[in-house]
């Protein structure tokens, strides 16, 4: 499954949408907040700004030092919340340990929460409302749709239960009538579950060595590797690509798989947020 090519074709559609918005006087915009010096986070934020530029979304980057007090980060979020020229706010994760992630995320106005991580947006997803959905799970679903992987009645196994990946993906798959099993670090006998999976998504990314090997995969399954581990300076995923690709019907590479889809879904969410905010302003003006 070529996430790079699919992301590029979605970008082309988004460019057209941005042009249409600009013709009606709206320039969608995204603000990113990067706290600290984590090199991987810096790379991810940079790639989001580059994508915004390609699509025609205005983007501003804000950087705060590693030891920034919570109050200062909250003040920046407040300022961006009340700035009408900002449609989307992305707080790059992970945050340094002294910052309470959930508290920081909750401060973002739900209508500007383009990562879909606030309780309000997570709750909407549980109720089947899918406007601002976390970008990585949204990207995984797009890959499955694009490659025509049957989802209804399929058995899906997701190895991850984070609020960023596993939990929202569980709801998206369930919403399309898959039977979903969510696994995590306390799950026992992972292979007995993964061997039954028509769709297998893994996002562990924590240890050297593979989480998913060929003997754990059903013949013809769709295998999606979200994880990104650094090993000897190389980027590797959870899946033994070499072995699993011989057995899987579909498989994502670590590079050019889910990563570009995450970025393009952020662009899509920014346009959704801009559209919603614009409609709200117009409605207010009419009243």
Which residues, 6 or more positions from 129, have their beta carbon under 8 angstroms from its beta carbon? none
Q: Which of 46, 109, 113, 115 is catalytic?
A: 115
Q: What is the nearest approach in angstroms of ligand NAP to the Cβ of residue 156?
A: 15
User: Per rule CB under 6 A, is residue 114 in the interface with ligand NAP?
Assistant: no
Q: How far is the CB of 236 from ligand NAP (least distance, A)?
A: 10
State the CB neighbour count (10 A cutoff) for residue 162. Answer: 14
Q: What is the dihedral of CA 160, 162, 166, 172, to 10 degrees?
A: 170
H or E segment and range at residue 33: strand 29-35
Is the Cβ–Cβ distance between 92 and 41 less than 8 Å? yes
Tokens 């209508």 belong to which residue?
A: 111
- Does residue 91 bind ligand NAP (CB under 6 A)? no
Distance CA 259, CA 166 (A): 16
Least Å from the CB of residue 152 to ligand NAP:
26
Bridge pairing between strands 155-159 and 222-225: unpaired
Which one, of 154, 216, 157, 202, lies nearest residue 182 by Cα?
A: 157
DSSP 107: H
How are the residues of the chain apportioned to helix, strand and coil, as percentages rounded to the nearest 5? 45, 15, 40
Contacting range for ligand NAP; rule: CB under 6 A; set: 95-103, 149-157, 197-205, 279-287: 197-205
Active site residue 268: no
Q: By CB under 6 A, name the one of 121, 160, 270, 277 that touches ligand NAP.
A: 160
If the CB atoms of residues 160 and 277 are measured against ligand NAP, the closer one turns out to be 160
What are phi and psi for residue 157, nearest 5 degrees? -120, 125
Nearest to ligand NAP of 172, 226 (CB atom): 226
Contact pick of 159, 169, 224, 248 for ligand NAP (by CB under 6 A): 159
Q: Which stretch binds ligand NAP (CB under 6 A): 15-23, 155-163, 244-252, 275-283?
A: 155-163
| 184 touches ligand NAP by CB under 6 A | yes
Contact between 3 and 252 (Cβ < 8 Å): yes
Minimum distance of ligand NAP from residue 95's CB (angstroms) = 12
Does 22 participate in catalysis according to the annotation? no
Q: Is 156 in the site for ligand NAP (CB under 6 A)?
A: no
131 catalytic? Reply is no
Between 86 and 157, CB nearer to ligand NAP:
157
Residue 233, exposed/middle/buried by CB under 10 A (0-12, 13-18, 19+)?
A: exposed
Contacting ligand NAP within 223-282 (CB under 6 A) = 226-229, 258-259, 262
Give the residue closest to ligand NAP by C-beta. Answer: 205
Catalytic residue annotation: 48, 92, 115
Residues that bind ligand NAP (CB under 6 A): 136, 159-162, 164-166, 183-187, 203-206, 211, 226-229, 258-259, 262
């Amino acid at each position: 499954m070529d996430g790079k090519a699919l992301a590029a074709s979605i970008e082309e559609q988004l460019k057209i949408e941005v042009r249409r918005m600009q013709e009606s006087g709206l320039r969608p915009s995204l603000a990113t907040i990067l706290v600290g010096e984590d090199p991987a986070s810096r790379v991810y934020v940079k790639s989001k700004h580059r994508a915004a530029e390609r699509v025609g979304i205005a983007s501003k980057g804000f950087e705060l030092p590693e030891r920034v007090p919570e109050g200062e980060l909250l003040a920046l979020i407040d300022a961006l919340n009340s700035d009408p020229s900002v449609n989307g706010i992305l707080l790059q994760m992970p945050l340094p340990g002294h910052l309470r992630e959930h508290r920081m995320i909750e401060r973002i106005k739900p209508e500007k929460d383009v990562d879909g991580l606030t309780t309000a947006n997570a709750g909407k997803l549980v109720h089947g409302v899918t406007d601002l959905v976390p970008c990585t799970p949204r990207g995984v679903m797009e890959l499955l749709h694009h490659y025509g992987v049957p989802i209804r009645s399929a058995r899906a196994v997701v190895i991850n239960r984070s609020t960023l990946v596993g939990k929202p993906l569980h709801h998206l798959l369930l919403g399309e009538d898959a039977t979903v099993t969510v696994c995590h670090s306390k799950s026992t006998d992972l292979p007995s579950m993964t061997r039954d999976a028509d769709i297998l998504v893994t996002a562990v990314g924590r240890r050297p060595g593979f989480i998913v090997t060929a003997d754990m995969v059903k013949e013809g399954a769709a295998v999606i590797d979200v994880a990104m581990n650094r090993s000897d300076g190389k980027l590797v995923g959870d899946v033994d690509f070499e072995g699993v690709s011989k057995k899987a019907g579909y498989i994502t590479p670590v590079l050019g798989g889910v990563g570009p889809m995450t970025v393009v879904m952020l662009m899509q969410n920014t346009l959704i947020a801009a559209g919603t905010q614009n409609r709200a302003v117009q409605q207010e003006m009419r009243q």
